[in-house]
Amino acid sequence: MDPVPALDEPLKKVLGPATAKVMAEHLGLHTVGDLLHHYPRRYEERGQLTHLADLPMDEHVTVVAQVADARLHTFASSRAPRGKGQRLEVTITDGSGRLQLVFFGAGVHKPHKELLPGTRAMFAGKVSVFNRRLQLAHPAYELLRGDAEETVETWAGALIPIYPATAKLESWKIGKALQTVLPSAQEAADPLPESLREGRGLVTLPEALLKIHRPHTKADIEEARARLKWDEAFVLQVALARRRHADAQLPAVPRRPRPDGVLAAFDDRLPFTLTEGQRKVSEEIFADLATDHPMHRLLQGEVGSGKTLVALRAMLAVVDAGGQAAMLAPTEVLAQQHHRSVTEMMGELAEGGMLGGAENATKVVLLTGSMGAAARRKALLDLATGEAGVVIGTHALIEDKVQFHDLGLVVVDEQHRFGVEQRDALRGKGKQPPHLLVMTATPIPRTVAMTVFGDLETSVLDQLPAGRSPIASHVVPAADKPHFLARAWERVREEVDKGHQAYVVCPRIGDEEDGAKAKKKSPEDEAEKRPPLAVLDTAEQLARGPLAGLRVEVLHGRMQPDDKDAVMRRFAAGEVDVLVATTVIEVGVNVPNATVMVIMDADRFGVSQLHQLRGRVGRGSAPGLCLLVSEMPEASAARQRLNAVASTLDGFELSRIDLEQRREGDVLGQAQSGTRSSLRMLAVIDDEEVIAEARVEASRIVAADPDLERLPALRTALDALLDEEREQYLEKG
């Protein structure tokens, strides 16, 4: 029997079908429990008025303020030609600023009677500008009388909760709905084991729900938040701990390299010594590969820290042990690039079964969707017979007809580009579950790694190999200082004159219909009103203008795979001076001779993406230069973001900035199967301590009681978190 029927009650039974429909469609709330976990965004104090001075444009806001004056005007219009049109203008104030409210037509009568000077109320509406003044047109409002029994009851205490609301459902209507369901909070089953709750001095769940929605003091809010954060962190960490526990029970074939095998031969022919970091991470991976349950490891490394080399050594260790290794790349360009660099690094060790191949060599095959039928048949045969020890490919590797002789290790490059189902399908191709190594060049703050990739052990490569050059980064303010942009093109010419090459990156390809894909206009700045710069137009303008005479080519995602590969080969061979590209070059493209990168409309890219792109230069012995071109004004948030990127090369620092600027929901939502983030109270960056402690507690509890038989309420909370979709996500993670 379900222990919490009251919280599973559908809202339409409790609140009526109309309100329930809006809550379901606009806020994703379906049950009493969902509504109880829809927490206030902030609280207004009765004695203090909100800041009207800094209202955001075009946003739906709720303010608490006092009516300063109200005037009714009549006017003539097409609908009311005899001067009978009516407009009510109400000015409200909060001490910090004033705001105009306007009501028209029949809508003026009620507010004209109610909104008298001195009246206090909550107002909700969308902020717009009229005659250079901020205003709310036809706002919804709720009077705060403070004497009427019902209002005092509804806005209990001195703190008024302001809920995340929508135009269809104002904050106070959500507040009223919550008053209706709040008694059910008493029946909320507490997921935290009692000893843990008492040991940490946390209030019970019913008490926390009561205090978050009807606080009497700020201390009530703090207590409630502390408790609810713990719930979110703990339940999520229990889910991940159970995943790790289940993985540890799975069988896998231990893979230990032979002392005189292909790995030893490969190490002997390396022209450089491994960095300390590469050695340490390799040891962690080899230790995992030698166990009889599958490795699940996340390898994080800055752009250019040598992750591919570490992954290749792991793959060769598995080949030594008689198994096969597959590397899954997100794009054909990248699969071909990996294949090229792996065969170059291995030399005759990659020529197993061929004339001139070394005696302990293996075969390295490429498998992509656009290969010819004969080459494809040959590759499939090499995999099925075990002739090929290493295969590198795109999701073509996952198709049903691809059979492995003995798949021992799967390496996934750039985790965030692969669906969970794809990884799962590849893992299902082993006779027993293969070992899994996930590589990412997007630095992930420790807390996000613990939350999103909490079922993977993490290794970090944080030093760059010797011989890597520093990259200087500068923001080029094209609108304020056009001569800076002219200088940028001169710098590109200077680098080409020295025998180097350059990238120019644009946000768009340029063959879309009439800018149909241009972004929605944003009020942030005039610059946003034009579509983003495009590869095809920019390449043409540069070739005719500032870079005339240089060999300029384009690369983008809609080109035929063979054409893309041909362009990359020419660029790598030094036959192209300037490559104008979209972000297809973001990942894994390695041309040590490219020293300068110009990113056009840099404000249209995310922080992590800019950092990834920048990592494509400075890969050789000459210093790298990255120029971030933007038309955004100096004071804008976009320019501050670019300044942050220009000021540091530390990817972990940038990923923190990135995460603080976006909401965690984006990060977790994307990783947690794209459903709405389950985190409402927990802030991944700020609550590092809570997450780390919850992880320790969760591991302890799961080790003692993997099926949570002694903790039925925790089991229920887990089932609620892991609705079917997320359950599958973690299953496959």
| pLDDT at position 500 over 60 | yes
Q: Lowest mean pLDDT: which of 471-480, 497-506, 614-623, 690-699?
A: 614-623
Q: Look at 675 and 205; give whichever has higher pLDDT.
A: 205
Q: Who has greater pLDDT, 440 or 154?
A: 440
C-alpha 202: how far from its chain's center?
31
Average pLDDT value for the chain? 80
What is the average per-residue pLDDT within 353-362?
Answer: 68
* pLDDT surpassing 50 at residue 671: no
Q: Which position has the higher pLDDT, 703 or 440?
A: 703
The amino acid present at 62, given as its one-letter code, is: T
Lowest mean pLDDT among 80-89, 155-164, 335-344, 487-496: 155-164
Of 515, 531, 514, 542, whose CA–CA distance to 604 is shortest?
Answer: 531
> Distances from the Cα of 510 to the Cαs of 148, 496, 581, 604, 635, in angstroms?
62, 26, 11, 15, 29
717 vs 555, more confident: 555
Q: Would you state the pLDDT for residue 588? A: 54
Containing H/E element for 598? strand 594-599
* CB atoms inside a 10 Å sphere around CB 631: 24
CA dist 1 to 364, 399, 712, 727, Å?
56, 43, 11, 21
Residue 659's pLDDT is what?
65
Contact 119, 146 (CB under 8 A): no
Measured distance CA(343)–CA(338) in Å, rounded: 8
In angstroms, the CA 473 to CA 346 distance is: 34
Q: What integer pLDDT is reported at residue 629 of this predicted model?
A: 92
- Determine the Cα–Cα distance for residues 138 and 148; give it in Å rounded to an integer: 25
CB burial of residue 637 (10 Å; 0-12, 13-18, 19+): exposed
Q: Count the Cβ atoms, other than its own, within 10 Å of residue 517.
A: 13
Q: Are 568 and 555 spatial neighbours (Cβ–Cβ below 8 Å)?
A: yes
pLDDT at 730: 46
Give the model's confidence band at 365: pLDDT under 50 very low, under 70 low, under 90 confident, else very high: very high
Mean pLDDT of 218-235: 91
The rounded distance, in Å, linking the Cα atoms of 680 and 676 is: 10
Average pLDDT of span 47-58: 63
More confident residue, 375 or 675: 375
Token pair for 523 = 């009020």
Q: Count CB-CB contacts under 10 A for residue 580.
A: 29
Q: What pLDDT shows up at residue 304? A: 67
Q: How confident is the model at residue 727 (pLDDT cuts 50, 70, 90)?
A: very low
Is residue 551 a contact partner of residue 533, using CB atoms and an 8 Å limit?
no
pLDDT exceeds cutoff 70 at 662? no
Report DSSP letters for 547-587, one per residue: TTTS-EEEE-TTS-HHHHHHHHHHHHTT--SEEEE-GGGTT
CA distances from 298 to 106, 414, 428, 694 (A): 63, 10, 19, 20
Least confident of 35-39, 292-296, 414-418: 414-418
What's residue 664's pLDDT?
44
Q: Please check whether residue 7 is in contact with residue 32, taking contact to mean a CB–CB distance below 8 angstroms.
A: yes
Secondary structure (3-state) at 391: strand
What was the pLDDT predicted at 685? Answer: 63
Whether the per-residue pLDDT at 373 is higher than 60: the answer is yes
Which amino acid type is present at position 127?
V
Q: What is the pLDDT of residue 281?
A: 93
What tens digit of pLDDT does each residue of 75-123 get? 766 665 665 788 899 999 887 788 899 998 888 888 999 999 988 888 8
pLDDT score of 669? 39
pLDDT reported for residue 458: 83
pTM above 0.85, yes or no: no
Q: Which range, 438-442, 460-464, 465-469, 672-676, has the best average confidence (pLDDT)?
A: 438-442
Q: What pLDDT is attached to residue 275?
A: 86
What is the arithmetic mean of pLDDT over 364-382? 89
State percent of the chain over pLDDT 70: 80
- What pLDDT, on the 0 to 100 scale, is given for residue 364? 93
- Model confidence over 27-36: pLDDT tens digits? 888 888 888 8
Higher pLDDT, residue 670 or 365: 365
Tell me the CB-side half-sphere exposure of residue 301, using CA atoms within 13 A.
27
Share above pLDDT 90 across residues of the chain, in percent, rounded to a whole number: 22
The whole-number pLDDT of residue 519 equals: 42
Distance between start and end Cα atoms, the chain: 30
Q: Is the dihedral of CA 716, 720, 725, 726 positive or negative?
A: negative
Cα 601 versus chain centre, distance = 21
Model confidence at 354, in pLDDT bands (50, 70, 90)? low
Distances (CA, A) of 11 to 34, 181, 184, 207, 208: 9, 9, 12, 22, 21
Q: What is the pLDDT of residue 303?
A: 65
